[in-house]
Amino acid sequence: MSSSEEIFEKVQETLVDALGVDDEDVTPEATLVGDLGAESIDFLDIVFRLEKNFDVKIPRGELFPENLAAADAGFVDDGKITEKGLSELRVRMPHANVDKLAEAPQVENLQDLFTVEFIVKFVENKLNQ
Amino acid sequence: MRWFWIDRFIEFEAGSHAKAVKNVSLAEEHMHDHFPGFPIMPTSLMLEGMAQTGGILLGKTHEFEHIVILAKVPKITYHSWVSPGESIVYHATLNEARDEGGSVECTAKVGDRLVAEAEIVFVHLDQSDPELGKIDQKNFVFSSGLLDILEVGKAGDGT
């Protein structure tokens, strides 16, 4: 089984290839969208590369859930994620720092859940399954 | 001018790989502007040829049920250029083919000379998708017209 450090290094390499960023930019706390400039299409590319580099299967929506801010689900109210939405996030993204989001639950902060560390934890969990 | 940047498939192994030929001709108008006195095949159009080869290969895995859109080119390197009278062979290998999209690796060669190599990521879109109207159709890898290449691309001897 790979150590966390090995997984981090491979995730780092994956993100360098997918996003064209430098090694040193890919720190554990870096956010994919805000810090590393990822766009929505990059998420699909990242999933492809993680599958290949770690030899795992990542079904659609498992790493990057879709329709998180869908208006009709009652997860968002007045530009903020509701308690119901936060609980849903804790279920669907168990490796994300939802507590931090809960401190400032504006919808625009949702993308900050996707950090490098979040991907490392996700992969770690996948490999342990 | 039709937006066809491959002339014919010479190999098509669904779910695996495909090879297509593009014959470069001085009759193509853009060659005279690119560049005056030094006509060469524009690299952007070679990328389009690779995307058409790879996009049709991907489209076939789902029997063209989805619209395939060129979404991202994570890597592309050009090693050489192509002059009129030369034939480019695009060789696309399918890396991923999922419901939401796929990716290919592709090379462009003239004979044994490697001209370009690329990785291309595509996404799928369905006719019913509300986002469809927002996307410029130029980004679609193929339309029914281009798919005809699969049917008509046979040599006189039937191969």
CA dihedral A109, A111, A113, A114 (to 10 degrees): -160
Give the predicted TM-score (pTM) of the model.
0.85
Note if B34 is an active site residue. Answer: yes
CB-CB: which of A20, A44, A52 is closest to B101? A44
Contacts of B99 in chain A (CB under 8 A): 60
Give the domain extent around A72. 66-113
Local confidence pLDDT in tens for the 159 residues of chain B? 678 899 999 999 999 999 999 999 999 999 999 999 999 999 999 999 999 999 999 999 988 888 899 999 999 999 999 999 999 999 999 999 998 899 999 999 999 999 999 999 999 987 777 666 666 655 566 665 677 777 655 666 666
Give me the number of domains chain B comprises: 1
**Could you tell me the CATH number of the domain that includes residue B33?**
3.10.129.10
Residue of B17, B30, B32, B34 marked catalytic = B34
Query: Does A29 score more than 90 pLDDT?
Result: yes
Q: What is the mean pLDDT of residues A39-50?
A: 93
In a domain, B158, yes or no: no
Are residues A124 and A50 in contact, defined by beta-carbon separation less than 8 angstroms?
no
Give me the number of domains chain A comprises: 2
Q: Is ipTM over 0.85?
A: no
CB contact under 8 A, B95 and A48: yes
Give the domain extent around B65. 8-145
Distances from the Cα of B94 to the Cα of A61, A84, B19, B66, B72, angstroms: 22, 41, 12, 16, 15
β-pairing verdict for A80-81 and B17-23: unpaired
Tokens 């859930």 correspond to A65
CB-CB: which of B98, B99, B121 is closest to A45? B121
